[in-house]
């Protein structure tokens, strides 16, 4: 009903707007100002976590994209090898699992059958399963060894927005916590990032306040057939998520690519006026990633693409090659998906609306898929 939408035209718009609060709620009571994490609710003893020698993340859809980002964070801060796999593929390929494997199952609903079957398979092999879930008491957390709830509140729109952002937060918390428990050489960095996380809700709020040009751009592209998305490092899963949102909501052909793969094929798709969204990593920190993506933007622009560039505030190097520039606040490299995804959600929602689509209930899709 209209009342439930609290004045928004759709649940999706309401849920996009709720993201600063959702992110803050996921962090509440789990981090403190001194840079310490407490995840007592993760009832896997620290001794067991110290013995983990492999992490496997399983999920579907948008939650899978959160898992792809988790891999960068987990491997960096914990130095434990991490695999990420679509739940529907995982158990049918005879994966190698034992008591030292930690399986992280990510699911908004906690009822996705593919993910549930993957976690059952993992537990049968003796692996420990940690669920990252938004729905209290749902099947996936009930069948897991431990659960970290995302506290995004109920998500009604089929296309996931606030659940995704809070899944990312939970994934970072797991990565940082494992790093803290195992005492890697990144101790100081872990403390700094925990502090940075406390500013993330404000950064998301800031992005939401600057979305009018993105909406205008989306409306101007409503007649297009294809949009491509490019990113590197954690920006690659962000590109995949941006493309998924357009497929789900606008029923458009959209694809996400790793920017470094352009030259190995996708660049052949570039033609005059094709919209290409590029997620640009911070020029601070790993500046090599930034330099490489700037040359990717130049390459596609030289071939006529219309470049829509998502870049950090103060990143002036990209400006000359951006037909449309969308600014996001500066964050540590690994946290950038929390701000860079938001314009892509707004873009897809507005574009779908301009095409006359029902954004909360896209055709052929279900919020939670309880069959394999
Ligand atoms: C369905 C939804 C997607 C969601 C996926 C996984 O396909 O339409 O939006 O990402 O399921 O759902 P889960 O509840 O497991 O996160």
Give tens-digit pLDDT for 18-65: 999 999 999 999 998 788 898 888 888 999 999 999 999 999 999 999
pLDDT score, position 91: 87
Cα(35) to centroid of ligand 1, in Å?
A: 32
What is the number of the ligand 1 atom nearest to the C-alpha of 62?
10
Kindly report, residue by residue over 221-253, the tens digit of the pLDDT. Answer: 999 999 999 999 999 999 999 999 999 999 999
Tens-digit pLDDT profile for residues 173-232:
999 999 999 887 888 889 999 999 999 999 999 999 999 999 999 999 999 999 999 999
What does the alpha-carbon distance between residue 316 and residue 312 come to, in Å, rounded to a whole number? 9
Percent of the chain predicted with pLDDT > 70? 99
> Average pLDDT of 331-339?
96
Instruction: Give residue 1's pLDDT band: very low, low, confident or very high (50, 70, 90).
Output: low
Does 367 have pLDDT greater than 90? Answer: yes
C-alpha 106 – ligand 1 centre gap (Å): 10
Instruction: List Cβ neighbours of 83 (8 Å cut-off, separation of 6 or more).
Output: 54, 55, 56, 57, 71
Residue nearest (by alpha carbon) to ligand 1 atom 11:
368
Measured in angstroms, how far is the CA atom of residue 63 from the centroid of ligand 1?
7
Number of H helices and number of E strands within the chain?
14, 10
pLDDT surpassing 90 at residue 354: yes
In ligand 1, which atom is closest to the CA atom of 109?
Answer: 14
Residues carrying an active site annotation: 367
Core vs surface per residue 119-128: b (16+ CB within 10 A) or e: bebbbeeebb
What pTM value is reported for the model? 0.97
Q: Which pLDDT score, from 0 to 100, does residue 117 have?
A: 97
Choosing from 367, 370, 371 the residue with most ligand 1 atoms within 8 A of its CB, the one to mutate for a pocket test is 367
- Give the mutation target among 64, 159, 362, 369 for probing the ligand 1 site: most ligand atoms within 8 A of CB: 369
Q: Is the ipTM of this complex over 0.90?
A: yes
Q: Is it the case that residue 285 has pLDDT exceeding 80?
A: no
DSSP, collapsed to helix, strand or coil, labels residue 4 as: coil
Q: Count Cβ atoms below 10 Å from residue 184 Cβ, excluding itself.
A: 16
Residue 139 has pLDDT above 90, yes or no: yes
Closest Cα to residue 37, out of 148, 128, 164, 166? 148
Q: Report the pLDDT averaged over residues 253-275.
A: 95
Centre of ligand 1 to C-alpha 112, Å, is: 7
Residues with CB under 6 A from ligand 1: 60-63, 107-109, 112, 115, 158-160, 365, 367-369
Q: What is the pLDDT of residues 80-120, one digit of tens each?
A: 999 999 999 998 999 999 999 999 999 999 999 999 999 99
Mean pLDDT of the chain, nearest integer: 95
Q: What integer is the mean pLDDT of 326-345?
A: 97
């Amino acid at each position: 009903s209209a009342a439930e939408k609290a004045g928004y035209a759709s649940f999706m718009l309401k849920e996009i707007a709720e993201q600063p609060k959702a992110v803050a709620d996921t962090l509440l009571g789990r981090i403190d100002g001194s840079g310490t994490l407490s995840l007592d609710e993760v009832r896997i003893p620290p001794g067991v976590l110290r013995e983990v020698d492999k992490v496997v993340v399983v999920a579907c859809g948008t939650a899978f994209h959160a898992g792809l980002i988790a891999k960068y964070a987990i491997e960096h801060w914990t130095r434990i090898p991490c695999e990420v796999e679509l739940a529907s593929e995982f158990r049918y390929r005879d994966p190698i699992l034992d008591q030292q494997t930690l399986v992280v199952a990510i699911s908004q609903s906690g009822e996705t059958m593919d993910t549930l079957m993957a976690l059952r398979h993992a537990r049968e092999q003796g692996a420990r399963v940690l669920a990252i879930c938004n729905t209290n008491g749902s099947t996936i957390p009930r069948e897991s060894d431990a659960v970290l709830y995302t506290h995004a509140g109920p998500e009604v729109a089929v296309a996931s927005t606030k659940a995704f952002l809070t899944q990312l937060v939970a994934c970072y918390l797991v990565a940082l916590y494992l790093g803290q428990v195992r005492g890697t050489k990144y101790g100081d960095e872990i403390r700094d990032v925990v502090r940075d996380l406390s500013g993330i809700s404000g950064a998301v709020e800031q992005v939401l306040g600057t979305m009018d040009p993105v909406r205008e751009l989306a409306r101007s592209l409503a007649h297009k057939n294809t949009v491509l998305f490019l990113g590197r490092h954690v920006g690659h899963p962000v590109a995949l998520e941006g493309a998924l949102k357009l497929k789900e909501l606008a029923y458009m052909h959209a694809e996400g690519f790793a920017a470094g793969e352009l030259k190995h094929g996708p660049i052949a798709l570039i033609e005059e006026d094709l919209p290409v969204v590029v997620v640009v990593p911070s020029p601070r920190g790993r500046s090599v990633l930034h330099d490489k993506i700037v040359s990717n933007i130049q390459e596609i622009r030289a071939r006529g693409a219309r470049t829509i560039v998502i870049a950090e505030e103060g990143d002036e190097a990209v400006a000359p090659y951006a037909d449309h520039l969308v600014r996001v606040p500066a964050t540590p490299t690994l946290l950038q998906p929390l701000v860079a995804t938001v314009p892509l959600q707004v873009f897809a929602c507005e574009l779908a609306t301009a095409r006359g689509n029902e954004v909360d209930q896209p055709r052929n899709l279900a919020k939670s898929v309880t069959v394999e």
